[in-house]
Structure 1
Amino acid sequence: MKTAGESLALGFGDIDAAMLAEVGGKAANLGELTRAGLPVPPGCCLTTEAYHRVAEGAGLKEVIAELTATAAQDTAALAGLAGRARALLLEAPIPDEVRDAITECYARLGADAPVAVRSSATAEDLPYASFAGQQDTYLNVVGAEAVQDAVRRCWASLWTDRAVAYRASNGIDHAAVRLAVVLQRMVEAEVAGVMFTANPVTGRRREAVIDAAPGLGEAVVSGAVNPDRFVVDLASMRISERRPGDKRLAIRSRPGGGTERVETSSDEPCVTDEQVRALAALGAKVADHYGAPQDTEWAIDADGTLWLTQARPITTLYPLPETTRDGLRVYFSVNVAQGVMRPFTPMGMAAFKLVSAGAAAVCGFPPADRLAGAPIMAEAGRRLFLDITPAVRSRAGRAILPRLLAVGEARAGVIFQQLAVDPRLSVTSTSMRPFIRTAMRAAGRIGAPKRLALALARPRAALAFTRRLGEELETRLAISPGATAEQRLDHAERVLRGTFPTIVSIMPVAITGYAGLGLAGKLSGAKGEQLQAVLRSLPNNPTTEMDLELWHLAKDIAADPESARQFRTAQARELADVYERGELRAQQAVERFLARYGHRGVAEIDLGMPRWSDEPAHILGVLANYLRLDGEDLAPDAMFARGAEEAERAVRTIVAMAGAKGRLRGRLAAFGLRRTRMLAGLRELPKYYAVEVLAAVRRSMRVVGEELVAKDVLDRAEDVYFLDLRETRQALAGGSLRELVAARRAAYEQEVRRRHVPRMLLSDGTEPEALAVRAAAAEGALTGTPASAGTVTGTARVVLDPVGAHLEPGEILVAPSTDPGWTPLFLTAGGLVMEMGGSMSHGAVVAREYGIPAVVGVADATHRIVTGATITVDGSGGIVSIAD
């Protein structure tokens, strides 16, 4: 159906999924479902053109301009502007042709037919933002005049406070959004509800979750009722879970229009098993039609007819890695393990894959396509995962991987143990020989036996070896300023491929330090806090050395009144502008620091991310924050010295405990702990060197980007980080890649807003941790892994991104995870709580070295703790308590 005047109204049969701009998300889906032959109540849509004609007469341009200029965090200002926009639309005249279109559209559904009048925005029911409930719906509207009024109120609801705030937080342009309105014949539902064709709690695909309640579905959608819940396996149509609700309320249509709430009560299911299976089968058809899981609304009328009243993508599911391998696969997140929750840039992803190819070659399995990375590498949500299925299904993997995870990612270790009892992941490889052969081959290629022997017999020589390795690495990273783009790409691939074999050769030396600690523990009987104390203020840790050098730089700035004034009065961005002009009072001192440590940064394992030398505002802001520290006791160098003294006391205590059991035990414990103090700090060195490699390649790729700008392939040199290495080489032949880069930037920015990244993910979409997290949340317990001993009570500061973050001295840092880019914040922190990590993760190591209590692996901490709350961190027991 098309009415007069530039498609002001369209019937569902005239609409398909490609017409989002004309009819909005809800109508596009209803039209698509109708054309697919699925049971959708008849209806029509007043297009966005109708809204546009009314909005033009309302004079919204000034309000929209103000909204665009308002920060997403300024919710009060957004709400005020949203109210002005609604008032303008409610008062605006409706042109005759639009009024006629509404009348005709309604008439097509029957004389005085009861209809649902629903908003359908162009930014709604999208794959990345559902906008569910952001605009208004009016049910059981009867009569032409009532329909006209409901349509006008739907238009105004494009500017509800919640819709405006939602758009602002998702980066959606207010000026680009329009609203269509759906008129749909009401289903007089005996029972209705919602159905997800993937489990929204666990993420498992092809598992339908159905909520049902008597009356209209609004009771379920609005959360006004505890519905019956059913879980159905879509492959077998087996109902795996039935959970009755109390169903104390039903919403029903009133004669003559509107709805009413009716008190009800029943312990009996409101749908039969046969109806549940019919719903599941219908949901499977919808999901198959779209090729993706769907969130649907449904109704069953008095005749038992099943109707679909809405469908939209499920936007909260984490994307699945693509795989061609059969059977259930288990993926472990590299991002979570490394404390980098944001997505990788394409160039960063390409670099990591090439490094993994070098690792696979060391193990004797060089991939056929090195640029594609090791076969265990997988990508999902623009983040990296490892396919650890072979480890889960092998005897060797089940023996070794949980132990490794226990010290690096403790919660993942617990999840791994849970997976071991899943019958779908039974052991298929029982022999230890393949693992032993691979381990021995890899150990031989990196020289592990001689490195271990050197570290045991001559630890100072082992330290000298690690320094020489750094010098050799710098030589290999050097490239002629006149190198061609092709030569730079060849050089980048060569050094990235050799990164893993180079840096992993340090690990036997560092492991010797931790082995010494373990030996001393067994000989003495010491455990827990006593052993942790030995790891305080370890020397030879490049990250600690960096932090202390930064503190000394801050002290030098504080000693110069003019420099101190400049840092105390200017914002970080202003300081960066002055620095880039070469006019900073402490210019040379900052330049010296960045010459040594400027290759570091936030999310530094992503080659595409800026370094401190690229964008110094962050580190200059940290320096300004250091100037706020009062009291010598809080000075990091004093804290480090105290930590070293505590460590030496702990060493003496443990040696004495071992000596009490025998003189030889005491000597061996002393031997082991000397190696611990000297070598364990090297744990951070492999990553330090790896980041040096990535920073060098980043600089070289920027030069390639400048050449691509000169060739008119890219707009900016930085755009090269949104290409991979293969594409960059091909781009040198010419031809614009602007559209590809723009699309990737947009997709990257969408993923940056994703708050949740699973530690582990199954190929059927299940997040094994999900149910455990839900149970912990229900009990109100905040428990995690003890990471740094001690107890502290203080004010929580939730920080999701360290750039520009400010931490008052003594505040407790609550973060998703941390990498070295976060550690300057540790110097003012009174304690640390992290969602991710284990007792040997980066944040835990640094917290111990600074002697601040820390608990890591605390599920959902950044949501369950709010800034300003008073919390107690028990770093010995792994418990975080929130004051009432």
Structure 2
Amino acid sequence: MASGSTGAGADLVVDLSRLASASLAAAGGKALNLGRLVAAGFQVPPGFCLTTAAYRKAAPTGLDTIAARLDGVGSEGTETSDGGSGLEDDDRDGLARQAREAVLAAPVPPDVEAAIREAYAAMGGGPVAVRSSATAEDLPFASFAGQQDSFMDVVGADAVVQAVRRCWASLWTDRAVAYRTTNGISHREVGLAVVIQRMVDAATAGVLFTANPVTGTRTQTVIDASAGPGQQVVSGAVNPDHFVVETASGRILQQPQDTPPSLADAQLRELTSLGDDAQRLFGAPQDVEWVVDGAGKAWLTQSRPITTLYPLPEDDPFTGQAGTDGTASAIAGTDARVYLCGTLMQGLTRPITPMGLHVLALMRGNNNGPWKTVNPGLRMYVDLTPILRNKSGRDLMARMLPLADGRSAAILPALLEDPRFSAARPPRRKSKANTAPARTQAKGAQGTQSLGVFLGIIPGMVRALLWPDRELRRARRYQDRLAARLALPLPATAARRLQHTEDILATSINGLIQATLPAPSVGYLMLAVARRLLRGIAEPRELEAVLRGLPRNVTTIMDLELWHLAVSLGADPESRRAFTELTPGELADRYRAGTLPAPAQSGIQEFLSQYGHRAVAEIDLGMPRWSEKPEHILGMIANYLRVEDPEQAPDRQFTRAAEHAETRISELVERAGAKSRLRGRLVALCLRRTRQLSGLRELPKFCIVLVMAEMHRQLREVGTELAGNGTIGDAGDVFFLDFDELRVGLRGADLKGIVARRRRLYDVELRRRRIPRLLLSDGTDVEAEMMAAAAALPQQAADDRLTGTPASAGTATGKARVIMDPVGARLEPGEILVAPSTDPGWTPLFMTAGALVMEMGGVVSHGAVVAREYGIPAVVGVADATTRLRDGQNVTVDGAAGTVTW
């Protein structure tokens, strides 16, 4: 057949056997991968690729204009701020339809049609598969599986030409356009090649995954098979036989039980081996389509990366390159380890910027302490393996994990029974101290430093217990001193700013902990003593009320000040009109320009002068602070202005919560006093100290964020200089580098390539919805594995109920409001806030929420604690809450029973 090396269609048609070295831009992902399979010796049905040059020739006039307009439409089908003009009446689907119709109506250029007919004739005619191969397809971060069309059993040159035209048009299906928009891929830059292959007379066909796509396990191959062509399996037209095979050994872990399987054991092992070989070829887990013909010969018809797997713990979070070649055999040979997602424990589902991870590592002593961490998926995971292999550690985890995250605690028993993590006897220590390796000695030094910090807070704890008011004043004075110490004398060069950033990180944290942690530590210690004194007198849940409406909580004070600002602006007609008519983005633009009504301009400026260092996901140094992007705060003010019922006013609710706490203390003291006068006095002392001191629990983090905000500000200035000299593209790119790289950049190195790679990884992770809370080193999402096992058992699902961990007592009924990101969120007073997780940046929403439902967390997680303080019912650790509940749905939250019903 024509190879593409001669004739008029030389740049239009290329044989699959010559595609291995082709470019993605010319052949598209599907064809390029098929070419690599052919070159590596895999059995692939013969055929040819009609390159993107043919598509470019055939593209009708005006298609580029439509594509440009689509690039200006946001993911919800609305015009973006930089999307040009005139799109108010056009939505994304309408533009996609215009593009499809234009492609279908355009004639196929004569030279393109001639090239197709010549290549098809050279194949000998007969039935072929005509399959789309887009340049934005089979990418490491987006597979585009099924987004463009393919046509099977096409016979005759005329039919092949028409199928090619329909493939071109399918580049503009609604689903393909939406997929590109979601993945941030320009519609103007995408092109489409077409693969034409001889059809294989399939006896059995299907798909295989070289890693378990449900659980993430890299050591398993999953195969779906059915008699006949594989398109039935891919399209879901049949219920295929489902097999799970242990890749390294070929052991069959799961297969159909009720009917004879469509594949024999030997065929399963052959396909598993082929998949493993393909994975080795491409260096990543693969989604492979295959066909077994009547003679029993296996053919591969497609191989694309599995893009939905969570990255392995060994993956490099900065380059996105795996630490191994991704093969099952490589993973199987490593020591099994288990990791707990620490960022989920902090209320974060989003990834952390590379600079944010770098700074967190420095704060932990670069992993020299007892808690080792890894950062797959740009999230921080703690290595629990040594703890689970230690008897005392296992006991500690069993007690503490339920408090932090109920869903992780539900998984823990399975891990404790796993022989890979069984408790082991610790090795004998060598008698001579100088035989310890240097790294062990460094760890010892780090441990000594940590012990020193711990011992340093003991005097403060004693002072807080005996003289609480004095210790409270001391903590407040420290906050003022810290703010003064963070200031950098000006003028300052970029190098000096960078050095100042590193210096304040190195010198602030230990002193900060010693100054701010003693008081809240004593507060919660006194609560624990009170709980013991009240054993047999009161149920532990009764003490929850003592923590409601706590004084001196900097976050609560901030929220109430924001509420009072909203009240004052609501009394000013011009300010009220601005906040009810303008979007948060428009309000922010006017604030930056200084053109808001005078009361709003000055009030917001005063609020941000105190709290502008805070942010959503504020433990990430790379996140913009409210002083940079005030949209979130402005949206909260607009939200508060919708409160009309005086009884729903946050300050009144907070006062009621505090009064309820005082009443509960009196009740508990009276009940303890009935046992003995001394016990009553001790309970009173403990609970009074709890009320006095526990509210300061937010102060350490508040001060740490103050430090991080100053670091953020200085790094932003460094970024401005680097962007000005072309080292990086934008000032914000500094947060995708680390300190050493910034020093290199200040000497003139071009860092744009590094930043671009990391931004791509970050953008992919921003779109990830499911984050494994417990992750094994072979990629297994432990919770997903348990859920899959449970789903295979006969059970009766509750269609009107979700359950989780009781976190704050009380009941509330209202409309659910599912919010994935608090920035710009609207929550009507009394609505039920449904969120994946929360951190302090979410708390302004708590002020008007009727109740809280979270997918993450336990009874001591941030959202649960704040919900109790605000006196709203809360249920946390509710699996799939953000997908099972929908906006406007009427639900009842029972915070004592841990249920959400409708």
> Structure 1: which 5+ residue stretches go unaligned?
246-266, 367-373
Query: Matches of 2:457 and 2:714 in 1, distance apart?
Result: 32
The SS at the match of 1:308 is strand
Structure-to-structure mapping, 1:545-584, within 5 angstroms: 545-584=557-596
1:625-680, Cα deviation, whole Å (9 max, x unpaired): 21111122111110000000111111122222323333332222222211211122
Contact persistence 1:655–1:667 (CA under 8 A): yes
Contact persistence 2:30–2:134 (CA under 8 A): yes
Give the 3 Å change call, closer, same or farther, for CA 18–45 of structure 1 in structure 2.
closer
1:368-403, Cα deviation, whole Å (9 max, x unpaired): xxxxxx982312122222222222222232122343
Query: Matches of 2:821 and 2:667 in 1, distance apart?
Result: 40
The SS at the match of 1:420 is helix
- Structure-1 residue corresponding to 2:222: 209
* Count of residue correspondences: 847
Determine which of 413, 417, 424 is the counterpart of 1:421. Answer: 417
Q: Is 1:163–2:176 an aligned residue pair? A: yes
Determine which of 131, 135, 143 is the counterpart of 2:144. Answer: 131
- Structure-2 residue corresponding to 1:263: none
Contact persistence 2:809–2:874 (CA under 8 A): yes
Q: Is 1:689–2:715 an aligned residue pair? A: no
The SS at the match of 2:828 is coil
% identity of equivalent residues: 53
Larger mean CA deviation between 621-630 and 489-498 belongs to 489-498
Give the 3 Å change call, closer, same or farther, for CA 397–90 of structure 1 in structure 2.
same
- Structure-2 residue corresponding to 1:386: 382
The SS at the match of 2:365 is helix
Counterpart AA for 1:750: V
1:65-124, Cα deviation, whole Å (9 max, x unpaired): 3322323212992222222222222221111111111112222322x3221111111111
Aligned-residue offset at 1:21: 0.9
Query: Matches of 1:402 and 1:494 in 2, distance apart?
Result: 39
Aligned-residue offset at 1:773: 4.1
Give the 3 Å change call, closer, same or farther, for CA 759–867 of structure 1 in structure 2.
same
Contact persistence 1:787–1:855 (CA under 8 A): yes
Larger mean CA deviation between 708-717 and 603-612 belongs to 708-717
Q: Is 1:857–2:851 an aligned residue pair? A: no
- Structure-2 residue corresponding to 1:264: none
Aligned-residue offset at 1:335: 2.1
Larger mean CA deviation between 395-404 and 858-867 belongs to 395-404
Contact persistence 1:58–1:91 (CA under 8 A): no
Query: Matches of 2:63 and 2:725 in 1, distance apart?
Result: 43
Query: Matches of 1:832 and 1:568 in 2, distance apart?
Result: 25
- Structure-2 residue corresponding to 1:250: none
Counterpart AA for 1:81: L
Contact persistence 2:313–2:779 (CA under 8 A): no
Determine which of 516, 521, 538 is the counterpart of 1:511. Answer: 521
Larger mean CA deviation between 497-506 and 817-826 belongs to 497-506
Aligned-residue offset at 1:430: 5.0
Query: Matches of 1:634 and 1:560 in 2, distance apart?
Result: 21
Larger mean CA deviation between 64-73 and 539-548 belongs to 64-73
Larger mean CA deviation between 3-12 and 493-502 belongs to 493-502
Give the 3 Å change call, closer, same or farther, for CA 431–687 of structure 1 in structure 2.
farther
Aligned-residue offset at 1:220: 1.3
Determine which of 664, 672, 682 is the counterpart of 1:668. Answer: 682
Counterpart AA for 1:115: V
1:215-239, Cα deviation, whole Å (9 max, x unpaired): 1112211112222111111111111
Counterpart AA for 2:63: L
Q: Is 1:721–2:729 an aligned residue pair? A: no
Query: Matches of 2:446 and 2:755 in 1, distance apart?
Result: 40
Aligned-residue offset at 1:876: 0.9
- Structure-2 residue corresponding to 1:461: 470
1:120-144, Cα deviation, whole Å (9 max, x unpaired): 1111111111111111111111222
Give the 3 Å change call, closer, same or farther, for CA 802–116 of structure 1 in structure 2.
same
Contact persistence 1:612–1:618 (CA under 8 A): yes
- Structure-1 residue corresponding to 2:850: 830
Query: Matches of 1:594 and 1:872 in 2, distance apart?
Result: 36
Query: Matches of 1:326 and 1:275 in 2, distance apart?
Result: 28
Larger mean CA deviation between 383-392 and 794-803 belongs to 383-392
Q: Is 1:98–2:112 an aligned residue pair? A: yes
Determine which of 23, 27, 32 is the counterpart of 1:23. Answer: 27
Query: Matches of 1:877 and 1:682 in 2, distance apart?
Result: 29
The SS at the match of 1:782 is strand
Determine which of 460, 481, 484 is the counterpart of 1:451. Answer: 460
Determine which of 62, 65, 69 is the counterpart of 1:66. Answer: 69
Contact persistence 1:333–1:760 (CA under 8 A): yes
- Runs in 1 of length 4+ with deviation above 6 angstroms? 431-441, 775-778
Query: Matches of 2:668 and 2:309 in 1, distance apart?
Result: 50
> Structure 2: which 5+ residue stretches go unaligned?
79-89, 316-322, 324-332, 430-439
Give the 3 Å change call, closer, same or farther, for CA 221–400 of structure 1 in structure 2.
same
The SS at the match of 1:342 is coil
Query: Matches of 2:484 and 2:725 in 1, distance apart?
Result: 31
Give the 3 Å change call, closer, same or farther, for CA 710–439 of structure 1 in structure 2.
closer
Determine which of 397, 401, 404 is the counterpart of 1:405. Answer: 401
Counterpart AA for 1:378: V
Query: Matches of 1:501 and 1:747 in 2, distance apart?
Result: 33
Q: Is 1:796–2:816 an aligned residue pair? A: yes
Query: Matches of 1:776 and 1:669 in 2, distance apart?
Result: 45
- Structure-1 residue corresponding to 2:392: 396
Query: Matches of 2:141 and 2:103 in 1, distance apart?
Result: 28
The SS at the match of 1:344 is coil
Return the TM-score normalized by structure 1.
0.91
Determine which of 643, 648, 651 is the counterpart of 2:662. Answer: 648
Determine which of 753, 757, 764 is the counterpart of 1:750. Answer: 764
Query: Matches of 2:356 and 2:418 in 1, distance apart?
Result: 35
Query: Matches of 1:437 and 1:615 in 2, distance apart?
Result: 41
- Structure-1 residue corresponding to 2:83: none
Aligned-residue offset at 1:468: 3.4
- Structure-1 residue corresponding to 2:692: 678
Q: Is 1:483–2:483 an aligned residue pair? A: no
Counterpart AA for 1:51: Y
Give the 3 Å change call, closer, same or farther, for CA 281–417 of structure 1 in structure 2.
same
- Structure-2 residue corresponding to 1:618: 632
Query: Matches of 2:427 and 2:865 in 1, distance apart?
Result: 35
Give the 3 Å change call, closer, same or farther, for CA 275–550 of structure 1 in structure 2.
same
Return the TM-score normalized by structure 2.
0.90
- Structure-1 residue corresponding to 2:373: 377
Q: Output the aligned Cα RMSD.
A: 2.5
Aligned-residue offset at 1:214: 1.0
Contact persistence 1:395–1:430 (CA under 8 A): no
Give the 3 Å change call, closer, same or farther, for CA 398–818 of structure 1 in structure 2.
same
Query: Matches of 1:478 and 1:336 in 2, distance apart?
Result: 32
1:240-283, Cα deviation, whole Å (9 max, x unpaired): 122347xxxxxxxxxxxxxxxxxxxxx11111111111111111
